[in-house]
Structure 1
Amino acid sequence: MSEHAPNLAPDMERALGALRDFTRRDILLRFYADRKARSVDDVARASGVHRSVAFDHLERLVALGYLEVERRRGLPGKPAKIYRLTGGPLQISHPMRRYDVLAEALAEALDDRLIKQAGRSLGRSLARPEVRSTVSALEPLIEMGGDYELGLGGRIACLNCLFAEACRRAPSICVFHAGVIEGLTSSEVESLGFLSPSGCAYLVS
């Protein structure tokens, strides 16, 4: 690399490594579109490539930190590899923007009551009239890229949190997210904390 070339941040280099190849990019974006776990054969079939090609790209995405590997019982003595999305969002920005640092500083300056109130105000501004279910109430966040799954007893699992990076630095951002859901659903919402590296859980009363 030339001494005059820009010093790319590690996250940007990682994203470029994942996106540079067309087939690898297609495979990774399929994981983001549908976060279910997949085998090599699943990926090869969906992408229209040979199994060995799919395997090479999957292993590269594991090395880059976007996928993780699980084992499930396959043929005797040969457990099948299953790949699951583990990385955060793909972001390419130069110079880097660190909104997570900003969120952490603001969260430390405010108490949880004010943070939740701010989230509630945002939720109300996004809310749509005459929603008939929790799922339809969450549509504004889903359209932004959020992924929610409803469970029993009013539990909401956020599988892809729009604020995940900020939450990891300042967990009180989960309180903000709870406030947003309150504003959207007109119900009381409690944050239950992290569900996974990419999401969290909430309880709607």
Structure 2
Amino acid sequence: MDLGSHAARIGALAESTRRRLYEYVVSQPGAVGREQAARELDLAPHTVNFHLDRLAEEGLLDVEFRRLTERTGPGSGRPAKLYRRTDREVSVSLPPRRYDLVGDVLAAAVTRAMSGDPLATSVVEAAHEAGRAAGSTARPEGGAAEATLEDLARALTGLGYEPRDEDGAMVLANCPYHALAQEHTELVCGLNQHFVQGVADGVGCGGACACLEPQEGRCCVVVRSERQR
């Protein structure tokens, strides 16, 4: 999901009545009906209907239909429309941050290490595999056998790296793991290098090499062609 969609979701909570309704629904142990919310918050039913549906449209609440009584058959009425907190996570970070990705890679690495593999090797392999998986989803379809640096740049842009060309090399203006890299530089930057290399391999950009070239104000990884190394 793009930045605009995430921002729209969070922006839906800026309206005070809508935010009250959201906070009420998520504080309840079960799904909440419109009449219950209107009664508890002393709001007009049509106001509650409008705001709950808006929250559902933005993906902040899930909807289910269920009968609230045991009556069935003719005259039992239609199932009630109920709202509950969604399991989907919504967050916006500027500049883009992907700490979840580091967590996934390290969890995969620890799982490997528990089976007897060296931890350092496990981190390298897990990072490269995660990158390859991410890159493969961005691989051009029906194009040339080998992807270009432009294809790789598009894939890295989607991952929050903000690639830019500098003298034929691809520098990454943003580090999606900035805070972690400040505290655990060797681990995170090494993981990052192998992840970016995995993205390049997954996209199919065979001549791209992810190199560690730390510099203040940007990501520690620079992507160069093999002839530039």
Q: TM-score range by the shorter chain?
A: 0.3 to 0.5
Q: Which has the larger radius of gyration?
A: 2
TM-score for the superposition, normalised by structure 2: 0.41
Between Structure 1 and Structure 2, the one with more strand by share is 1
